[in-house]
Amino acid sequence: MPIYVLRIISAFFILATWIPFIKWDYWWIRVFDYPQLQKLVIIILCVLPWTYLAFEEASPESFIWIALLLIAGTHLFRKVKIFSPLGKKMIDSIAYDEENGIYILVGNVYQFNTHYQKVIDLVQQTNPDLIFLVETDKAWEVGLKSLEKQYPNTILIPLDNTYGMLLYTKLEIVRHEIKYLIDEEIPSIELEIKLKSGKIITVYAIHPTPPVPNENPKSTDRDAEILIVGKKVKANPKPSLVIGDLNDVAWSYTTELFLKISEMADPRRGRGLYSTFHAKIPLLRWPLDHIFLSKHFGLSELKVQSGIGSDHFPISMKAVITEKNTTDQLDANEEDHQEAIEKIENGISDRS
């Protein structure tokens, strides 16, 4: 490899490591939140030729590059480590109890995907209590009609703008509301369901817009919607879950701020990445689809399911209500609360 190419690659990925610290909402800043593991791997690969040059040619420049790369790599390793078995779990493992538990399947089907039978087959194989699917239009509602026999309680919002939602459950829906928290074309669902034991839990099902140039050049709307839901969870005394394709990765600043504001737990922490996107490009995968739990739950299972023809893999979770707090929440300070308020206000003002 020519040394000028190595310099360019090394400089780019060092820069890419620190760009996420810039809190601007522009997509070209926020896109660097996503590939943390990929950046770490490339930085490690860059260290190798610089190490060779350092010892074979006694190049002082090489030692400078090695130092800069190792500093960046150490930071990335610490970020990725949190989402691995080397990290600390936020939520305890617990045996599954069907009476006090819930089994949830969440998936972004990709609206233009027509493999309806793959979704039906997956549902038959897994037999969850609740299914939440996004990017679902009328064709998807029709294609999955047979699920309504097994899942009689439904909330169906088919849309052709890639923000449709289909929710199916065997459990009793006590209350539900369809909300448009930021954008009048992007729904979210807030529902209360009764477990087999009779206990009531709240589920917030969302799919905020991503920060991409052809849809939304900023992450303002996404961040605001996520944090609005976080505040709702914090104010809700009932056991709660937040589920959906959040169009944000588990290690981003916004997701961490959400965890602080909501006092919820991320089951990925201390267990693994459980990457759900991109299903068709193995080298570009990160965790975009989420299931967050309030302090009332223990975790029995978290699993990325097989592909359904979408660019996302579905993800499933089994959780159980416990008698004690089984989560290790992140603490929010006054600055965090103020920043959340500002992000919510910015999202609302952008749409007014």
Chain centroid offset of residue 211 CA = 14
Ramachandran angles phi, psi of 157, nearest 5°: -130, 70
Ramachandran angles phi, psi of 207, nearest 5°: -155, 75
Q: What mean pLDDT comes out for the span 215-221?
A: 89
DSSP label at 219? S
Q: What are the structure tokens assigned to 83, written together?
A: 């989402």
Residue 208, pLDDT above cutoff 70: yes
Q: What are the structure tokens assigned to 82, written together?
A: 């949190």
DSSP label at 109? -
Residue 2, pLDDT above cutoff 90: no
Q: How confident is the model at residue 326 (pLDDT cuts 50, 70, 90)?
A: low
| 247 vs 42: CA distance, rounded Å | 24
The confidence score (pLDDT) of residue 324 equals: 72
Residue position matching structure tokens 């305890």? 92
Q: Is the CB of residue 287 less than 8 Å from the CB of residue 276?
A: yes
Residue 328, pLDDT above cutoff 80: no
The confidence score (pLDDT) of residue 351 equals: 65
The confidence score (pLDDT) of residue 343 equals: 93
| 101 vs 167: CA distance, rounded Å | 18
For residue range 173-191, what is the model confidence (pLDDT) as tens digits? 999 999 999 999 999 999 9
The confidence score (pLDDT) of residue 206 equals: 98
| Residues 6+ positions from 63 with CB-CB distance below 8 Å | 54
Residue 250, pLDDT above cutoff 80: yes
On the CB side of 168, CA atoms within 13 Å amount to: 24
| Residues 6+ positions from 208 with CB-CB distance below 8 Å | 182, 186, 221, 222, 225, 226, 246, 247, 248
Residue 198, pLDDT above cutoff 80: yes
H-run or E-run covering 101: strand 101-108
Q: Is the CB of residue 317 less than 8 Å from the CB of residue 289?
A: no
Q: How confident is the model at residue 58 (pLDDT cuts 50, 70, 90)?
A: confident
- Select the highest-mean-pLDDT range: 28-32, 48-52, 147-151: 147-151
